[in-house]
Amino acid sequence: MRALVTGASGFVGQHLLEALTTDGWTAVPDATDLADEDGLLAALERARPDVVFHLAALSFVPDSLHAPEETYAVNVMGTARLSSALRAYAGRHGGVPRVLFTSSAEVYGSRASAEMPLAETFELRPANPYAASKAAAEMLLLGEMRALGGDVIIARAFNQIGPGQSEKFAVASFAHGLAKIAAGASPLLEVGNLDAQRDVLDVRDTARAYVALARNGERGEVYNVCRGTAVTMRDLLGELIVIARVPVEVRADPAKMRPSDTPLSFGSNAKLLDRTGWAPRIKMTDSLRDIYEDARKRLGP
């Protein structure tokens, strides 16, 4: 099996390339600008993929609040250009590759605790520009599939953590701050909302889920990619502090608070498990330990 991976140099993309190689695929990373439709078609011609994993996106929610138009341009119009390139490719070769689109649990929006776990059948209630862009891209791909043919699978990822993640994201930020304290910095760690409860999955398990869906997912279906339970940011930070073994003063930073932060979010992974047999393998403690070691390496000697 051959795969073309957009966004291959990103956090999830690098782990996906490794998972594909482990599973016996020939994986072709693609760094083509999503604004370049001709470049996307050329990338398809070079890769001749069986599956296109579409990961390339602007994915940091606070950035989308400050620059919504840029988020829509990349996440929605970029996906539209990729879809157009796929149609042109199909016209030349008589068939279109399967597309696995990585969406986000953000499309569900804020829900009451009684509605948990979130299921794929729930209506979408995006509450920020990033979520809106992912919901729009989902509809674009599924609508074109139904009208024009094609083979699309939607993977709605919940919160992902792991080595290599940008320090803009909460858990990676915690680990980076603790690594600096261990190296001699001031023992002050400024954080956002620690009461938020999230469904957190190691990115390496996420990557395996994407590969499993590419092989066995059903055309036109949506799958949650998640652990299926919620944990507070406070508990994750507490475990990282134990791992780092440093004295620390934790202080809330209003600048790190999101205006539309969702208090509780966790999903059902039953559909994914039933279809593919996938299950999470990496324990939370092991994820956090790897994240902290990664933060220490990034600081250097």
Q: What is the pLDDT of residue 117?
A: 98
Q: How many domains in the chain?
A: 2
pLDDT interval class at 28 (50, 70, 90): very high
219-254 pLDDT per residue, tens: 999 999 999 999 999 999 999 999 999 999 999 988
Does the structure show a pLDDT above 80 at 261?
no
pLDDT interval class at 259 (50, 70, 90): low
Whether 149 and 101 map to the same domain: the answer is: yes
Whether 59 and 208 map to the same domain: the answer is: yes
- Report yes or no on 54 lying in a domain: yes
Q: What is the domain extent for residue 244? A: 163-196+229-265+282-299
Whether 146 and 183 map to the same domain: the answer is: no
Whether 58 and 25 map to the same domain: the answer is: yes
How far apart are alpha carbons 259 and 255 in whole angstroms? 10
- Report yes or no on 92 lying in a domain: yes
Three-state secondary structure along the chain? CEEEEECCCCHHHHHHHHHHHHCCCEEEEECCCCCCHHHHHHHHHHHCCCEEEECCCCCCHHHHHHCHHHHHHHHHHHHHHHHHHHHHHHHHHCCCCEEEEEEEHHHHCCCCHHHCCECCCCCCCCCCHHHHHHHHHHHHHHHHHHHHCCCEEEEEECEEECCCCCCCCHHHHHHHHHHHHHCCCCCEEEECCCCCEECEEEHHHHHHHHHHHHHHCCCCCEEEECCCCCEEHHHHHHHHHHHHCCCCEEEECHHHCCCCCCCEECECCHHHHHHHCCCCCCCHHHHHHHHHHHHHHHHCC
How far apart are alpha carbons 264 and 195 in whole angstroms? 9
Whether 56 and 192 map to the same domain: the answer is: no
CA terminus-to-terminus distance, the chain: 41
Under 8 Å between Cβ of 236 and 194: no
> What is the C-alpha radius of gyration for the chain, rounded to an integer number of angstroms?
19
How far apart are alpha carbons 128 and 261 in whole angstroms? 10
The CATH number given to whatever domain includes residue 242 is 3.90.25.10
Whether 207 and 244 map to the same domain: the answer is: no
Residue for token pair 């986000």: 104
Whether 58 and 94 map to the same domain: the answer is: yes
For all residues of the chain together, what is the average pLDDT? 96
How far apart are alpha carbons 194 and 125 in whole angstroms? 24
Whether 156 and 89 map to the same domain: the answer is: yes
94-125 pLDDT per residue, tens: 889 999 999 999 999 999 999 999 999 999 99
Whether 71 and 208 map to the same domain: the answer is: yes
Whether 36 and 77 map to the same domain: the answer is: yes
- Report yes or no on 294 lying in a domain: yes
pLDDT interval class at 257 (50, 70, 90): confident
Does the structure show a pLDDT above 60 at 67?
yes
Does the structure show a pLDDT above 60 at 260?
no
Closest CA to 181 of 299, 291, 65: 299
Whether 176 and 118 map to the same domain: the answer is: no
Whether 25 and 148 map to the same domain: the answer is: yes
For the beta carbon of residue 29, count every other beta carbon within 10 angstroms.
17
How far apart are alpha carbons 273 and 290 in whole angstroms? 26
Q: What is the pLDDT of residue 238?
A: 98
- Report yes or no on 76 lying in a domain: yes
For the beta carbon of residue 119, count every other beta carbon within 10 angstroms.
14
pLDDT interval class at 36 (50, 70, 90): very high
- Report yes or no on 271 lying in a domain: no
